[in-house]
């Protein structure tokens, strides 16, 4: 059977339907979707499609045809995420009897209320990556659990012993608890409903997930407090902007961190040497002005970093986390970058990255 491009099939069939109802106008061609999100029982289009009232005059004739093409029962249109702290989607169901989306990814069953919760299919690479980690016997804290994007892969695949999942959106909590049951892992998860700054347990975690974009900075202090006294791993998500202006301090030619405005000073073999980040080799220890200790990922040469701004962000982040840990424990902690993972481009010059940090108290041995 000859392959048929779904975009062409959609265009052909909807044009035919609208012509049969004497509703077709050439300008409607631009409102026929060229992209979509398809789940087990839903297809979701951007709200820029199907804008004309003619589609709604056609009503069921159009929606039934769309359902046949995608083999689903429900259709929704999605706008921009609301700025309400919950990242609530602007989504409305235009056809179907259910508002619960069902989706199976990497053997995990997810469900969520389409008009109240979001699900980013573009994060699949990170969900699959963390599912491959070996966390046998570990306790994990997920500070932004949502419906279980990362909580459930950790529970199903990584052999961790328990996950403490923090979430403040009541609709997300309901979906999270349902998903824990659907995947038979509820017994290994404790859900803390509320702001993680208020409800997250302290000194319990071998590993902390901070899966919030554009940034999770308001909870970095919480993440550090959640770590066991012997330390552990942080998985820190952020949208990182490239093409920013680099400021250099002429007096000593050291670089000024764009965020905290401190100089980034290299410390090699216990002797200070001022250098720009472009000259930092992997494995170099970076020391901030208040003597907190951190180190850059030990791996290939710096030229293999895809973007220079990614390195600047990583250096800033490791020394900021080490400063937080120093203040909390009144003793230095070593913060080492174990990996920098690209998830997706969120917008031009904005990249969703995940920084894996190992945090350990410095011993005098």
Using one digit for the tens of pLDDT, what is the confidence trace for 256-277?
444 444 444 333 322 222 222 3
- Can you tell me the distance from the alpha carbon of 335 to that of 99, in angstroms, rounded to the nearest whole number? 44
pLDDT for 134: 96
pLDDT for 267: 30
Q: Tell me: do 167 and 300 sit in the same domain.
A: yes
Structural domain includes residue 331: yes
Q: Tell me: do 129 and 90 sit in the same domain.
A: no
Q: Of the candidates 47, 38, 109, 50, which has an alpha carbon nearest to the alpha carbon of residue 74? A: 38
Structural domain includes residue 229: yes
Q: Tell me: do 86 and 134 sit in the same domain.
A: no
- Has this prediction a pTM greater than 0.85? no
Q: Tell me: do 77 and 135 sit in the same domain.
A: no
pLDDT for 90: 77
What are the two backbone dihedrals, phi and then psi, of residue 289, each rounded to the nearest 5 degrees? -65, -20
Summarised one tens digit per residue, pLDDT across range 204-253 is 999 999 999 889 999 999 999 999 999 999 999 998 887 654 443 333 33
Q: Tell me: do 199 and 127 sit in the same domain.
A: yes
Among 81-90, 117-126, 177-186, the minimum mean pLDDT is found in 81-90
| Residue 35's CATH number | 3.30.300.110
Among 25-39, 43-57, 194-208, 314-328, the minimum mean pLDDT is found in 314-328
How many domains does the chain divide into?
Answer: 2
Cis-peptide, bond into residue 327, ω within 30° of zero: no
Classify each residue of 302-334 as buried b or exposed e, where b means 16 or more C-beta atoms within 10 Å of its C-beta. beebeeebbbbbbbbbbbbbbbbbbeeeeebbb
Q: Look up residue 323 and give its two tokens.
A: 């400063």
3-state DSSP assignment of residue 84: coil
> Looking at the predicted structure, is the pLDDT value of residue 316 above 90?
no
Q: Tell me: do 70 and 215 sit in the same domain.
A: no
Structural domain includes residue 328: yes
Q: Tell me: do 182 and 285 sit in the same domain.
A: yes
Domain residues for 19?
6-98
> Residue 262 class from Cβ within 10 Å (0-12 exposed, 13-18 middle, 19+ buried)?
middle
Q: Look up residue 121 and give its two tokens.
A: 């299919």
Q: Tell me: do 89 and 133 sit in the same domain.
A: no
Structural domain includes residue 198: yes
Structural domain includes residue 317: yes
Structural domain includes residue 63: yes
pLDDT for 283: 35
Angle, helix 6-20 to helix 60-70, in steps of 10 degrees:
160
Q: Which of 51, 83, 98 is the last residue of a domain?
A: 98
Distances (CA, A) of 102 to 71, 86, 137: 13, 21, 31
pLDDT higher at 4 or 231 = 231
> Looking at the predicted structure, is the pLDDT value of residue 158 above 90?
yes
> Looking at the predicted structure, is the pLDDT value of residue 183 above 50?
yes
The pLDDT mean for the chain works out to: 81
Cα angle 193, 236, 135 (rounded to 5 degrees) comes to: 80
Q: Which of 12-21, 73-82, 121-130 has the highest mean pLDDT?
A: 12-21
Q: Tell me: do 73 and 198 sit in the same domain.
A: no
Q: Tell me: do 194 and 75 sit in the same domain.
A: no
Residue 86's pLDDT band, with cuts at 50, 70 and 90, is low
Structural domain includes residue 115: no
Structural domain includes residue 36: yes
| Residue 171's CATH number | 3.40.50.150
Do the beta carbons of residue 208 and residue 141 sit within 8 Å? yes
DSSP lists the bridge partners of residue 77 as: 45, 92
Q: Which of 83, 98, 113 is the last residue of a domain?
A: 98
Q: Of the candidates 123, 323, 342, which has an alpha carbon nearest to the alpha carbon of residue 242? A: 342
As a whole number, mean pLDDT of residues 178-191 equals 97
Which residues, 6 or more positions from 273, have their beta carbon under 8 angstroms from its beta carbon? 266, 267
The tokens 């405005």 sit on which residue? Answer: 261
pLDDT for 192: 98
Among 99-108, 166-175, 235-244, 324-333, the minimum mean pLDDT is found in 235-244
Q: Tell me: do 56 and 189 sit in the same domain.
A: no
Q: Tell me: do 130 and 243 sit in the same domain.
A: yes
């Amino acid at each position: 059977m000859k392959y048929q491009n779904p975009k062409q099939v959609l265009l052909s069939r909807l044009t035919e339907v609208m012509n049969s109802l004497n509703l077709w106008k050439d300008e409607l061609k631009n409102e026929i979707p060229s992209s979509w999100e398809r789940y087990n029982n839903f297809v979701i289009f951007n709200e820029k499609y199907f804008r004309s009232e003619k589609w709604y005059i056609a009503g069921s004739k159009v929606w039934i045809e769309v359902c046949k093409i995608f083999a689903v029962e429900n259709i929704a249109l999605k706008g921009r995420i609301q700025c309400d702290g919950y990242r609530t989607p602007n989504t409305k169901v235009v056809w179907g009897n259910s508002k619960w989306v069902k989706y199976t990814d990497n053997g995990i069953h997810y469900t969520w209320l389409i008009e109240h919760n979001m699900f980013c299919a573009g994060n699949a690479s990170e969900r699959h990556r963390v599912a491959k980690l070996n966390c046998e016997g570990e306790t994990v804290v997920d500070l932004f659990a949502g419906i279980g994007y990362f909580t459930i892969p950790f529970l199903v695949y990584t052999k961790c012993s328990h996950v403490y999942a923090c979430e403040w959106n009541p609709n997300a909590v309901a979906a999270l608890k349902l998903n824990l049951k659907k995947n038979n892992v509820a017994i290994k998860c404790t859900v803390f409903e509320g702001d993680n700054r208020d409800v997250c347990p302290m000194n319990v975690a071998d590993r902390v997930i901070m899966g919030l974009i554009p940034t999770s900075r308001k909870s970095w202090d919480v993440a550090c407090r959640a770590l066991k006294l012997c330390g552990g791993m942080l998985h820190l998500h952020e949208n990182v902007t490239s093409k920013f202006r680099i400021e250099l301090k002429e007096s000593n030619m050291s670089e000024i961190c764009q965020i905290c405005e401190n100089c980034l000073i290299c410390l090699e073999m216990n002797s200070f040497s001022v250098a720009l980040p472009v000259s930092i080799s992997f494995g170099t220890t970076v020391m901030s002005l208040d003597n907190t200790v951190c180190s850059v990922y030990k791996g290939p040469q710096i030229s293999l970093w895809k973007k220079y701004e990614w390195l600047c962000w990583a250096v800033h982040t490791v020394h900021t986390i080490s400063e937080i840990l120093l203040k909390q424990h009144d003793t230095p902690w070593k913060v080492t970058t174990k990996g920098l993972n690209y998830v997706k481009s969120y917008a031009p010059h904005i990249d969703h990255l995940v920084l894996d940090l190992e945090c350990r108290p410095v011993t005098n041995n």
